[in-house]
Amino acid sequence: MTSNVLAALAEVTTATITTILLKKGIRNAYMRGPKPLTSGYRRLVGAAFTLRFVPAREDLATPESWASPRSTRAAIEDMPAGCICVADARGVTEAGIFGDILVARMEQRGVGALVTDGSLRDAAGVLSCRLPVWCAGVAAPSSVAGHTFVGWQEPIGCGGVAVFPGDIIVADGDGAVVIPQALVEEVAKLGPEQERFENWALAEVQKGAALPGLYPPNEATRARYEAERKR
Amino acid sequence: MTSNVLAALAEVTTATITTILLKKGIRNAYMRGPKPLTSGYRRLVGAAFTLRFVPAREDLATPESWASPRSTRAAIEDMPAGCICVADARGVTEAGIFGDILVARMEQRGVGALVTDGSLRDAAGVLSCRLPVWCAGVAAPSSVAGHTFVGWQEPIGCGGVAVFPGDIIVADGDGAVVIPQALVEEVAKLGPEQERFENWALAEVQKGAALPGLYPPNEATRARYEAERKR
Amino acid sequence: MTSNVLAALAEVTTATITTILLKKGIRNAYMRGPKPLTSGYRRLVGAAFTLRFVPAREDLATPESWASPRSTRAAIEDMPAGCICVADARGVTEAGIFGDILVARMEQRGVGALVTDGSLRDAAGVLSCRLPVWCAGVAAPSSVAGHTFVGWQEPIGCGGVAVFPGDIIVADGDGAVVIPQALVEEVAKLGPEQERFENWALAEVQKGAALPGLYPPNEATRARYEAERKR
Amino acid sequence: MTSNVLAALAEVTTATITTILLKKGIRNAYMRGPKPLTSGYRRLVGAAFTLRFVPAREDLATPESWASPRSTRAAIEDMPAGCICVADARGVTEAGIFGDILVARMEQRGVGALVTDGSLRDAAGVLSCRLPVWCAGVAAPSSVAGHTFVGWQEPIGCGGVAVFPGDIIVADGDGAVVIPQALVEEVAKLGPEQERFENWALAEVQKGAALPGLYPPNEATRARYEAERKR
Amino acid sequence: MTSNVLAALAEVTTATITTILLKKGIRNAYMRGPKPLTSGYRRLVGAAFTLRFVPAREDLATPESWASPRSTRAAIEDMPAGCICVADARGVTEAGIFGDILVARMEQRGVGALVTDGSLRDAAGVLSCRLPVWCAGVAAPSSVAGHTFVGWQEPIGCGGVAVFPGDIIVADGDGAVVIPQALVEEVAKLGPEQERFENWALAEVQKGAALPGLYPPNEATRARYEAERKR
Amino acid sequence: MTSNVLAALAEVTTATITTILLKKGIRNAYMRGPKPLTSGYRRLVGAAFTLRFVPAREDLATPESWASPRSTRAAIEDMPAGCICVADARGVTEAGIFGDILVARMEQRGVGALVTDGSLRDAAGVLSCRLPVWCAGVAAPSSVAGHTFVGWQEPIGCGGVAVFPGDIIVADGDGAVVIPQALVEEVAKLGPEQERFENWALAEVQKGAALPGLYPPNEATRARYEAERKR
């Protein structure tokens, strides 16, 4: 992915991206569950680095497992700078997958953001780090209270959406969306233009224009927009 | 509805309104789902203007449908100033029924508030408008990802409550409540008096009074309250 | 419970407490549902004072019942200073168990905090009191719209966890956890030490340390930590 | 409760009972969750004998607890013949509250039926007993996997309905309903008459009658029914 | 719709219909919720006749409302022979929309089947009628305990799917599916051919064939099938 | 695993297995969701062969994907005789993972049973095969309507439980349970003895014995049982 493409996507809302994807036949790209842990994050864009959890079983999900070579710790040490970590917690919010120490390490490694359909723990500590987090809740218990970690960089589900390593993730105030790799360039091309038109339409509304014919635009509106745009 | 009645209701909390309605036999008037999108809204009162969605079907719920005469756009152009738009999204929060452009148009038309058991999209844009919004969530996908719009000013359900066009809606920090038209005058009469008593009882508690006999008041308390009130 | 023990627990996050309890075989101590009603509460610790509701039945759950000797009012007058009131609302969030007047009286009685898996009502009024509240939502309807109050200081469930009168409750930004009485002293002993180690590990991460071997610590790390700690 | 009253209720469907209760202002009397474990049970009527569970906590919910004086075993030995055991399992269906041995003992004691919003375990064994069971599911794990038993003959919730010891329970193919004690006589009086009218109306429909005016009956229908009934 | 088309559809499983619709871009046609009330129904096909309920409000949802001109009774008298009644109960299963008398009347009128995402009541009575019923449960309370009836032959949602009057409904052991009117002829043409191929493929499997290349068929399989079919 | 061990487990109910596992510290071994598709299956025991699905995305979950080398077809061709196929459908019941053709092929390959927390499709066809199926529902849509297949013989979750390839699965009328490999031998040793005692205790109850002291047995009961057993 060229950095131009990522930069272009950073100017496109997740709302607009889902509309473009729907027109391409992709209706299931928006993750249900992950929301910004706090307000004020800028929009984040990056390639998905996936983590996978299955349910906890008491013989597997133990504090001792944290020292295993197949652990969240090992996965974090494998994350490249700029990636967006997407963790499949199966929508279980009763245990926090990570707390401040792991999030701090991700920040040190230059990870762009953390997205999960599960919870974080020690929210106060996590918020004192600068890593932007999209999650489905906050819970005190550690990951092993609800999850067994099984691997990274595998296909996963997150928030009801399939995510493959390398898919592009965009996250903003509305939540997080996945763009299949094959569609990234097209979304990056169509998105900024769609934003430009929507800003123009919003300004028209604020000047008192009625909606029919404006949004979506009929031919006259489209022509007027094109004319004004060229000026 | 006279403006006096609406003004009186603007002084009554939704908490008090539900208690008065319960005493009149109405236990199901509070909508589960709609909450203020942000803090700081004043209490809003108005007549319900209803919108109705059914689930999305790919042949019906398309971006093209937005230009149809039976569209959310046409419905918005029919909204009178001061109404409260109540949208039945069947509790589905995975798609945003409106984004900033439609909300801006509602604001232009003088709509009092938007109440829905669904989600809004492009939350940042919506919050930059001044229209107060009570909703059940925020989601990037557009309405057609989850909904087919079918009409306006019909009876609907919203948050598990029946709403008929013209019912009076009151929304504040606790959420939104519907007052059946036949009961509006009585609620507007009893509500302010109930608030007055509760404020007095709260002050008594803050002076150290115990609860039994005070709230609910026994006869002695009632007499004392009446006496003090007349002063 | 000595005040030393309570003071020690006030320095331990609920995240750390759940980890210690899990190592002692207790995986189900964290209440699902109760969250801080607003930000900024300090961590609260105290002995559980329990309230129990069953579902509303129209002949029992009436405004008149509020004046009965077996009422929430009577229960509140029985609460000792410093206790943490834990109310079993069966996870039903459609009715508010208490509003501002009852919360104000609890504050007057010196109650430490209110924890429930139900809702509060009249959130604006409750927030104007100083009593810290952990709850699962906010709803306008009064308790009798969803609940029949049946007693206090009985064993209850709250947020999927068993709570017995006298168990120790700790609540912070992540939510609320119950410590069985038999384990309180041990948690109060192990907790501060665990926090100390985690702060050291966090600092190490911020200096650039990798996770494997650090957290959880291998023997070398453990030795280094002990050595630095003694300095 | 006289046996005449119970005998009369045995001829009234739970459907009809809920309609009569609704006309008396009781809308919340039907338990959501309990269904017949198998087909072919006759309608059962009896006084509620209540059991109460709270969530499992690993230090309390142990196989050892089964030998405690406050155990399900002790509760069963306290059940009178003809009662209907109603067990509050908080809607948790992941653990079976009883298996074949406890059900067999209830049968030996002459218990009329078992009603719960939880699960039974060892369904094959339970079905080989003759005790009729209304439950919300079947699950292999024992009660202590999900529940801590705390007492009997206390007010409980079951399937979202308040049940007090001594309330009358009626259970048939549609599920189970509670009749508040104060209303039992009236329901026993109105119910059989309502059933008689409904049977007549059904026969009219089967002869080709249209619904309007028939059901509910207008005055002409009412008169015709009364006339035919007297013959 | 010609009767040939309906007859052809009666030979196509709902499983096959959903696959054909998916290939035409319709993924949301299968209703979640409605299941056969008992086993042994043949597959039913017919045009949708819709009913719409909103939530119950105590001033509207009364036994008296059953006599209103806008009642379920009036709607039933409007149903044509051969239609399939589809009732939008918003997935609420705590109240039964119809009992035996109304179902018997529908049977008298020649209605083909009843499909709802709500419950029936008086299941024993309903089962003694011959009208096939697909529903999401059984519950004793009458419709007014959960629903306010508002109209018929309007667009509705049922089981998460949009249904318009006149859409074709097919229901069998797997549940119920809606076919948009514009696609009915094509489904009726492709369906029987698809069933024929699947029966052949099943027979191949039973003779020991492996799946890859067989199902879905590669070119060789396709050729072999075509050849055998012509014999 | 020796066949002796599997044969021993075939005599032990899943109810008893969960109790033994709980005493060994494993509380989370029973899958929530999978139930027998029809009655009359004998108890099945075998090693888990796992399948993994993630959510459907329209570019991936297509009928064309069924011909891919990473398809359910390929996975089935890899299943050894006697295994129990456990499919992780993330609890999504709106799409059927398999229909009759795939189930028939599994039967041909000698698979012991199919267990999933998702749905089957074409239930009539599946039931005409002899492969025993434990599932969470029945639904017409094909797997690609809800799922993207991603692999086999990986660790999965099923019904809220972790399952690793090679874990032993036991399924009977109560549902399905996983036995971690390290505990299989012990369960196979303790289980039959526990069943023997429970049968004896049941017979005692049927002769009129009271529960306290019998079940769980006190020392006297234990001695009496041992004495009788030796005879």
Q: What is the DSSP string of C164-196?
A: -TT-EEEEETTEEEEE-GGGHHHHHHHHHHHHH
Q: What value does the mean pLDDT take over residues B95-117?
A: 98
Q: Which of C177, C205, C216 has the CB atom closest to A63's CB atom?
A: C216
Q: What is the pLDDT of residues F120-136, one digit of tens each?
A: 999 999 999 999 999 99
**CB–CB contact C25 D182 (8 Å):** no
Q: How many CB atoms lie within 10 A of CB C118?
A: 30
* DSSP string for B18-29: HHHHHHTT----
Percentage of chain C modeled with pLDDT above 70 = 100
Per residue in C89-143, pLDDT (tens digit) is: 999 999 999 999 999 999 999 999 999 999 999 999 999 999 999 999 999 999 9
User: Mind listing the pLDDT tens digit for each residue in A61-90?
Assistant: 788 888 888 899 999 999 999 999 999 999
Euclidean distance between CA atoms D51 and D125, whole angstroms:
22
pLDDT at F1 over 70: no
Which chains, if any, share at least 3 CB pairs under 8 A with chain A?
Answer: B, C, F
Interface E-F: count of C-beta contacts within 8 A = 90
**Which among C4, C165, C158, C142 has a CA at the least distance from the CA of C79?**
C165
* Cis-peptide, bond into residue A34, ω within 30° of zero: no
Q: Confidence class of residue E1 from pLDDT cuts 50, 70 and 90?
A: low
pLDDT of residue B43: 98
pLDDT at C82: 97
- Which chain D residue's Cα is nearest to C151? D155
Chain C hits for B31, CB-CB cut-off 8 Å, are none
Return the pLDDT at B63. 79
Model confidence at A1, in pLDDT bands (50, 70, 90)? low
CA atoms within 13 A on the CB side of D35: 14
Tell me the CB-side half-sphere exposure of residue D182, using CA atoms within 13 A: 7
* Cβ contact D25–C54 (<8 Å): no
Span of C21-35, C158-172, D62-76, F175-189 with lowest mean pLDDT: D62-76
Report pLDDT for F159.
98
Buried/exposed E104-121: b ≥16 CB within 10 Å, e otherwise: bbbbbbebbbbbbbbbbb
3-state SS, residue B226: helix
Which residue in the set A63, A74, A99 is minimally distant from C15, CB to CB? Answer: A99
Phi and psi at F180, nearest 5°, equal: -55, 145
pLDDT band at E68 (very low <50, low <70, confident <90, very high): confident
Kindly write down the DSSP assignment for every residue of E98-130, as one continuous string.
--HHHHHHHHHTT--EEEESSEESSHHHHHHS-
**Cα–Cα–Cα angle for A105, A108, A110, nearest 5°?**
115
Closest Cα in chain D, distance from residue C157 (Å) = 5
By C-alpha distance, which of D47, D43, D38, D48 is closest to D17? D43
The arithmetic mean of pLDDT across residues C26-48, rounded, is 97
Instruction: Based on DSSP, count helices (H) and strands (E) in chain B, helices before strands.
Output: 7, 12
Subunits touching C (CB < 8 Å, at least 3 pairs)?
A, B, D
State the pLDDT at residue B199: 96
Residue E174 to residue F104, Cβ atoms within 8 A:
no
Selection from B223, B201, B222 nearest residue B211 by Cα: B201
Q: What are phi and psi of C163, to 5 degrees?
A: -130, 125
pLDDT of residue D64: 81
Residue E28 CA to residue E17 CA, distance in Å, equals 12
* Residue B67 pLDDT grade (very low, low, confident, very high; cuts 50, 70, 90): confident
Residue D117: which of D63, D175, D70 has the closest Cα? D175
CA D45, CA D134: separation in Å to the nearest integer? Answer: 13
Mean pLDDT for E119-134 is 97
- SS3 of chain E: helix, strand, coil, percent, to 5: 35, 25, 40
Q: Which of B104, B139, B145 lies at the smallest CB-CB distance from A205?
A: B104
Nearest C-alpha in E relative to B30: E57
Q: Could you read off the pLDDT of C191-205 as tens digits, one per residue? A: 999 999 999 999 999
**C34-57 CB burial, b ≥16 within 10 A, e <16:** bbbbeeebebbbbbbbbbbbbbbb
Per-residue pLDDT of B193-203, as tens digits, reads 999 999 999 99
ipTM: 0.95
* Minimal CA separation from E172 to chain F, in Å: 9
Q: Is E142 helix (H, G, I), strand (E, B) or coil?
A: coil
**What's residue E61's pLDDT?**
79
Q: Which of E58, E63, E123 sits opposite D173 (nearest CB)?
A: E123
Inspect the interface and report whether the beta carbons of D58 and C156 lie closer than 8 Å.
no
Residues F70, F73, F74: CA angle, nearest 5 degrees: 50
**Secondary structure of residue B87 in the 3-state scheme:** strand
The confidence score (pLDDT) of residue D37 equals 98
| HEC profile of chain F | CCHHHHHHHCCCCHHHHHHHHHHCCCCCCECCCCEECCCCCCCEEEEEEEEEEEECCCCCCCHHHHHCCCCHHHHHHCCCCCCEEEEECCCCCCCECCCHHHHHHHHHCCCCEEEECCEECCHHHHHHCCCCEEECEECCCCHHHCEEEEEECCCEEECCEEECCCCEEEEECCEEEEECHHHHHHHHHHHHHHHHHHHHHHHHHHCCCCCCCCCCCCHHHHHHHHHHHHC
Rounded-to-integer distance, Cα C18 and Cα C29, Å: 7
Burial class, E133, CB count within 10 angstroms (exposed 0-12 / middle 13-18 / buried 19+): buried
Three-state SS for A22-61 is: HHCCCCCCECCCCEECCCCCCCEEEEEEEEEEEECCCCCC
Tell whether the model's pLDDT for residue E2 goes beyond 90: no
Stretch F207-212: mean pLDDT = 96
| DSSP, res B161 | E
Write the pLDDT tens digit of every residue in D131-173.
999 999 999 999 999 999 999 999 999 999 999 999 999 999 9
- pLDDT band per the 50, 70, 90 thresholds, residue F11: very high
Flag whether pLDDT at A230 surpasses 90.
no
The radius of gyration computed from the CA coordinates of chain C, to the nearest angstrom, equals 20
Count of helix runs (H) and strand runs (E) in chain E: 7, 12
Confidence of residue C1 (pLDDT cuts 50, 70, 90): low
Q: What are the tokens at C48? A: 């559980």
* Closest C-alpha among C34, C50, C145, C141 to residue C91: C34
CB contact under 8 A, E26 and B57: yes
pLDDT at A48 over 90: yes
Quick one: pLDDT at residue B64?
A: 81
DSSP letter string, chain D: --HHHHHHHTTS-HHHHHHHHHHTT----BPSS-EESSTTPPPEEEEEEEEEEEE--TTTSSGGGGGSSSSHHHHHHTPPTT-EEEEE-TT--SSBS--HHHHHHHHHTT--EEEESSEESSHHHHHHS---EEESEE-SS-GGGTEEEEEESS-EEETTEEE-TT-EEEEETTEEEEE-GGGHHHHHHHHHHHHHHHHHHHHHHHTT--STTBTTB-HHHHHHHHHHHH-
* pLDDT at position C65: 81
Q: What are the Cα distances from residue D160, in Å, to A149, B174, D171, E7, E23?
A: 37, 24, 16, 45, 43
User: Are A96 and C27 in contact (CB < 8 Å)?
Assistant: no
Hey, what amino acid is at E162? A
As a whole number of angstroms, the distance between CA E152 and CA D154 comes to 46
Band of the pLDDT at C66, cuts 50, 70, 90? confident
DSSP state of E173: T
Query: 């529902």: which residue's tokens?
Result: F137
Tell me, what's the pLDDT at F230?
84
Between CA C176 and CA C135 the distance in angstroms is 10
Provide the residue-wise pLDDT of chain D in tens; the chain has 231 residues: 678 999 999 999 999 999 999 999 999 999 999 999 999 999 999 999 999 999 999 998 788 888 888 899 999 999 999 999 999 999 999 999 999 999 999 999 999 999 999 999 999 999 999 999 999 999 999 999 999 999 999 999 999 999 999 999 999 999 999 999 999 999 999 999 999 999 999 999 999 999 999 999 999 999 999 999 887
| Mean pLDDT of all residues belonging to chain E | 95
pLDDT above 70: residue F117: yes
Name the token pair of F119.
Answer: 């749905």
What's the pLDDT score for residue A2?
A: 78
**Residue ranges of E strands in chain B:** 35-36, 44-55, 84-88, 113-116, 119-120, 133-135, 137-138, 147-152, 156-158, 161-163, 168-172, 175-179
Strand, helix or coil for residue C116: strand
Give the model's pLDDT for residue B1: 61
Q: Do C216 and A121 make contact, defined as CB atoms within 8 angstroms?
A: no
Sole residue written with tokens 């006697």: F82
What are the angstrom distances between the C-alpha of D147 and each of D56, D97, D104, F27? 4, 8, 21, 12
Q: Do C124 and B172 touch (CB under 8 A)?
A: yes
Chain B contact set for E161 (CB, 8 A): 55, 57
